[in-house]
Amino acid sequence: MRKFHFGRHTVCYSSALFFSIVLVIFQGCKQPDLGLEVQDPGDVINLLRTDSLAVRSSLEREDSVKSDELVFNLLGSYQDPYLGLINASTVCQFRPSVSNIILGEGFIADSLVLVLPLRTAYGDVTKLNGLQSFKVFRLEESLSLSDVYYSNKEVAVSASPIGSLGPILPLLTDSVRVTGKKQAPQIRIPLDINIANEIAANPGVLLSADAFLSFFKGLKITSELPSNQPGKGAILDLNLQAGARIDLFYKNLTQDSLRISFVVNENAARFTQFNHQYSQQVQDLINNPGFGQDYSFVQTMGGLRTKIQFPNLMAWKAGRNILVNKARLFVPVDSSSIGIYPVNPQLNLITKSEDGTLTLIPDLLVSEDYAGSAYKPSTKQYEFNITRYIQSILDGKAVDRGLFIQAKGTGVSSFRVKINGGSNASRPIRLELLYQILPSN
């Protein structure tokens, strides 16, 4: 007899009755749809392993990305040693910080300054390597907060810049003193003082935000490098809602040292433009898919992604009833390419739906932790769990239209990573399967 204690009660069962109850309980709780991925491989009988399936890799351009009203905007240029010249420009509206502004009699403009708070940078911002020049153009077409803007959107701007600065070294840690007070690191670009005089000549534009936006539609800020040499420059990270503004310093007949500001707030339309002048090396990889078998790239900023295919997967199945315990895709990084360019902290694996649109793989729909898309510095690789994706293909529930390794946060970050290809001589991309062969139905 077996005794079980429940609080103050003791229940006795014969061994045969105990095992019958346990069997009924486990049969009632069985969930065959979960597959073997929930089991410890050491507990599975006849578990097999293979990592010799072919992996085909190729490089392709990513489509333009939606880049409006995101948390951060990007600005800057850098000459990537592998990719070529990478550039980001910012386009945004500015709204009066208050309504019904009265400049007063005897208005005299002292200066007009564009302020861009700095957050972080990707690339080199030290000494001569970090030098950049900036130009500011006045928009000649209106932006709308209700419209959608993509990273390849072109807008009409003034023929000549209304402000410029540089070459300068953007300082990310040094505070700036403005009117005697310290402010966070920022770029300050002087603007054409004639704009201030235009405002004063049309006082009605200061009565409301709509009136001002009709008069002054916004700005486009661009950058360029004094020397397009590999390793020069950086992409700067801006949080425009954390202090980006145009400051107008002025005086009138009764007061001196006055200032009004036109700010970027939650109601200001804004977006980032990306431009990639890729190196011949990258163009060759894109135009010749077979070249990506040695190495490839993944880049944010609506840049590059790597396509992965398993051309022999169904032939390997060979009509067998395969149950996948675990399917992992190992994507090694070329560590020699990192240097001053940190790798993407996280990548996503996506695929294509029947109509050709990109969609998350089923493993990523479970969670990012489940799919395992974070970079592992200890092994210098990404390790993806694609168990459900592979099982769905083997079961004929999904069609293999390829996997795409794509950067996360492509509109708000400037990471890139060089990865090994499917036939790399030292550490190729590798698919590892732990599986069972079940009796055929």
Beta-bridged to residue 66, according to DSSP, are 150
Which string of DSSP letters, residue by residue, matches 235-273?
A: EEEE-GGGT-EEEEEEE-SS-SSEEEEEE--TTS-EEEE
Per-residue pLDDT at 178: 74
What is the tens place of the pLDDT at every residue in 64-86?
999 999 999 999 999 999 999 99
**Cα distances (angstroms) measured from residue 64 to each of 61, 67, 287, 345, 422:** 9, 9, 19, 21, 26
Question: How is the chain split into domains, by residue range?
Answer: 38-62+280-438, 73-268
Residue type, 258: L
**Neighbouring residues of 74: CB distance < 8 A, sequence distance ≥ 6:** 88, 90, 235, 236, 237, 238, 272, 274, 301, 412, 413, 414
* 334, amino acid identity: D
pLDDT at position 25, please? 34
Handedness of CA 358, 362, 366, 371 (dihedral sign): negative
Token pair for residue 41?
Answer: 């491989």
Percentage of the chain with pLDDT > 90? 76
What integer pLDDT is reported at residue 45 of this predicted model?
Answer: 61
Q: Kindly provide the residue ranges of all beta strands, DSSP E only, lying in 310-394, ordered along the sequence.
A: 321-332, 347-352, 358-360, 375-376, 381-385
Token output for 18? 């105990």
In sign, the C-alpha dihedral spanning 66, 72, 73, 77 is negative
* pLDDT value at residue 44: 58
Note the pLDDT tens digit of each residue in 318-368: 999 999 999 999 999 998 999 899 999 999 999 998 888 888 888 888 877
Q: Give the other-Cβ count within 10 Å of 280's Cβ.
A: 8
**Residues of the chain whose pLDDT is less than 70?**
1-45, 174, 179-180, 441
pLDDT at residue 23 in the model: 35
pLDDT one-digit tens code per residue, 297-312:
999 999 999 999 999 9
- The pLDDT value given to residue 368: 74
* Euclidean distance between CA atoms 195 and 218, whole angstroms: 12
